[in-house]
Structure 1
Amino acid sequence: MARSNDEVAALLQEYADLISITGGDAFRARVYEKAARAVGGHHADVATLGLKGLQEIPNVGKSIAQKVREYVDSGTVSAVEELRARIPDGVRRLTAIPTLGPKKALAVYEELGVSSVEELADAIHQERLRDLKGFGPRTEENILHGIELLRASGGRVRIDVATELAESIVAVLSAVDGCEKCAYAGSLRRCRETIGDIDILVAAEESAPVMRAFTALPYVTEIIGQGATKTSVRTAKGLDVDLRVVPPDSWGAALQYFTGSKAHNIRTRERAVHQGLKLSEYGLFDVETGEKIVSETEEEVYGRLGLPWIPPPLREDRGEIEAGLRGELPDLVTEADLRGDLHTHTDLTDGLAPLEEMAAAAARCGYAYYAITDHAPDLTMQRMTDERMLAQRERVRELDGTFPTKGRRGGLRLLHGTELNIGPEGGVDWPEDFLAGFDLCVASVHSHFNQSRDALTRRLVRACENPHVHIIGHPTTRLIGKRPGIDADLDAVFAACARTGTALEINAHPHRLDLRDEDILRARRYGVKFAVNSDAHAVPQLDVMRYGIGTAQRGWLTGDDVINTWPERRLRSFLRGRG
Structure 2
Amino acid sequence: MARRNKEVEALLQEYADLLLITGGDAFKARAYEKAARAVGGHHTDVAGLDVKGLREIPNVGKSIAEKVVEYLQTGRLPAVEEVREQIPAGVRELLAIPTLGPRKAMVLHEELGISTVAELTEAIAAERLRGLKGFGPRTEENILHGIELLRAAGGRVPIDVAMEVAEEVVAALSQVAGCERCTYAGSLRRMRETIGDVDILVAAAESEPFMRAFTELPQVAEIVVGGAKKTSIRTTRGLQVDLRVVPPESWGAGLQYFTGSKAHNIRTRELAVHHKLKLSEYGLFDTESGDLLVSRTEEDVYARLGLPWIPPTLREDRGEVTAGLRGELPELVTQDDLRGDLHSHTDLTDGLATLEQMVEAAAARGYAYFAITDHAPDLAMQRMTEEKMLAQREQLRALDGRHRRMRLLHGTELNIDPDGGVDWPEEFLRGFDLCVASVHSHFNQSAEAMTRRLVRACENPCVNIIGHPTTRIIGKRPGVDADLDAVFAACARTGTALEINAQPERLDLCDEHILRARRHGVKFAVNSDAHSTLHLDAMRYGVGTAQRGWLTSDDVINTWPLTRLRRFLRKGGKDGNG
**What displacement does 1:421 show?**
0.3
Distance 1:227 1:64 in 2: 45
2:443 equivalent among 449, 461, 474: 449
Distance 1:53 1:262 in 2: 48
Cross-structure match for 2:243: 243
**1:131-150 pair list within 5 angstroms:** 131-150=131-150
Q: Which moved more, 1:82-91 or 1:204-213?
A: 82-91
Contact 1:370 1:412 in 2 (8 A): yes
**What displacement does 1:238 show?**
1.2
Distance 1:130 1:70 in 2: 44
Cross-structure match for 2:423: 429
Distance 2:45 2:237 in 1: 19
Cross-structure match for 2:464: 470
Cross-structure match for 1:565: 559
Cross-structure match for 1:407: none
Amino acid at match of 2:267: R
- The answer to whether structure 1 residue 28 and structure 2 residue 56 are counterparts is no
| CA deviation profile, 1:491-533 (whole Å, cap 9, x unmatched) | 0000000000100000000010000100000000111000000
SS in structure 2 of the partner of residue 430 of structure 1:
coil
Contact 1:469 1:578 in 2 (8 A): no
- The answer to whether structure 1 residue 334 and structure 2 residue 328 are counterparts is no
**What displacement does 1:578 show?**
4.5
- The answer to whether structure 1 residue 48 and structure 2 residue 42 are counterparts is no
Cross-structure match for 1:208: 208
| CA deviation profile, 1:531-564 (whole Å, cap 9, x unmatched) | 0000000010000000000000000000010000
- The answer to whether structure 1 residue 91 and structure 2 residue 91 are counterparts is yes
**What displacement does 1:2 show?**
3.7
Contact 2:464 2:571 in 1 (8 A): no
Cross-structure match for 2:272: 272
| CA deviation profile, 1:372-391 (whole Å, cap 9, x unmatched) | 00000111110001111111
Please list every run of 5 or more consecutive structure 2 residues that lacks an aligned counterpart in the other structure. 574-578
Amino acid at match of 2:522: V
Amino acid at match of 2:542: G
Cross-structure match for 2:576: none
Amino acid at match of 2:86: R
Distance 2:467 2:22 in 1: 36
Amino acid at match of 1:113: G
- The answer to whether structure 1 residue 230 and structure 2 residue 224 are counterparts is no
Contact 1:4 1:47 in 2 (8 A): yes
Distance 2:83 2:257 in 1: 48
Cross-structure match for 1:359: 359
Distance 1:318 1:419 in 2: 34
Contact 1:470 1:578 in 2 (8 A): no
1:537 equivalent among 520, 526, 531: 531
Distance 2:238 2:126 in 1: 34
SS in structure 2 of the partner of residue 570 of structure 1:
helix
Q: Which moved more, 1:475-484 or 1:177-186?
A: 177-186
Distance 1:170 1:49 in 2: 27
- The answer to whether structure 1 residue 519 and structure 2 residue 513 are counterparts is yes
Cross-structure match for 1:497: 491
Amino acid at match of 1:558: T
Distance 1:251 1:45 in 2: 35
Amino acid at match of 2:244: R
Contact 2:166 2:200 in 1 (8 A): yes
Distance 2:324 2:438 in 1: 37
Q: Which moved more, 1:539-548 or 1:217-226?
A: 217-226
| CA deviation profile, 1:433-485 (whole Å, cap 9, x unmatched) | 00000000000000000011000000000000001000000000000000000
Contact 2:462 2:571 in 1 (8 A): no
Cross-structure match for 2:157: 157
Amino acid at match of 1:498: A
Amino acid at match of 1:474: H
- The answer to whether structure 1 residue 62 and structure 2 residue 86 are counterparts is no
Please list every run of 5 or more consecutive structure 1 residues that lacks an aligned counterpart in the other structure. 405-410
Distance 1:559 1:123 in 2: 51
Distance 1:32 1:284 in 2: 57
Contact 2:2 2:168 in 1 (8 A): no
Contact 1:468 1:578 in 2 (8 A): no
SS in structure 2 of the partner of residue 87 of structure 1:
coil
Distance 1:143 1:234 in 2: 31
Cross-structure match for 1:480: 474
Distance 1:431 1:228 in 2: 67
Amino acid at match of 1:463: A
Contact 2:19 2:25 in 1 (8 A): yes
Distance 1:191 1:43 in 2: 24
Contact 2:472 2:480 in 1 (8 A): yes
* Identity percentage of aligned residues: 77
Distance 2:515 2:289 in 1: 43
**What displacement does 1:577 show?**
3.1
Amino acid at match of 1:454: E
- The answer to whether structure 1 residue 320 and structure 2 residue 320 are counterparts is yes
**What displacement does 1:40 show?**
1.1
Distance 2:356 2:239 in 1: 39
Amino acid at match of 1:473: G
SS in structure 1 of the partner of residue 17 of structure 2:
helix
Distance 1:382 1:167 in 2: 37
Amino acid at match of 2:49: L
Distance 2:527 2:317 in 1: 27
| CA deviation profile, 1:14-48 (whole Å, cap 9, x unmatched) | 11011111111111100000000111111222111
Distance 1:375 1:206 in 2: 56
Distance 1:47 1:490 in 2: 44
SS in structure 1 of the partner of residue 180 of structure 2:
strand
Cross-structure match for 1:119: 119
Structure 1 stretches of 4+ with a deviation exceeding 3 A read none
Distance 2:56 2:167 in 1: 31
The alignment's C-alpha RMSD in Å is 0.8
Amino acid at match of 1:242: D
Contact 1:184 1:200 in 2 (8 A): yes
Cross-structure match for 1:460: 454
Distance 2:150 2:399 in 1: 46
Cross-structure match for 1:110: 110
Contact 2:233 2:242 in 1 (8 A): yes
Cross-structure match for 1:349: 349
| CA deviation profile, 1:279-322 (whole Å, cap 9, x unmatched) | 00000011111111000000000000000000000000001011
Amino acid at match of 1:514: D
| CA deviation profile, 1:408-432 (whole Å, cap 9, x unmatched) | xxx2100000000000000001111
Q: How many residues align?
A: 573
1:506 equivalent among 492, 496, 500: 500
SS in structure 1 of the partner of residue 526 of structure 2:
strand
Distance 2:37 2:413 in 1: 20
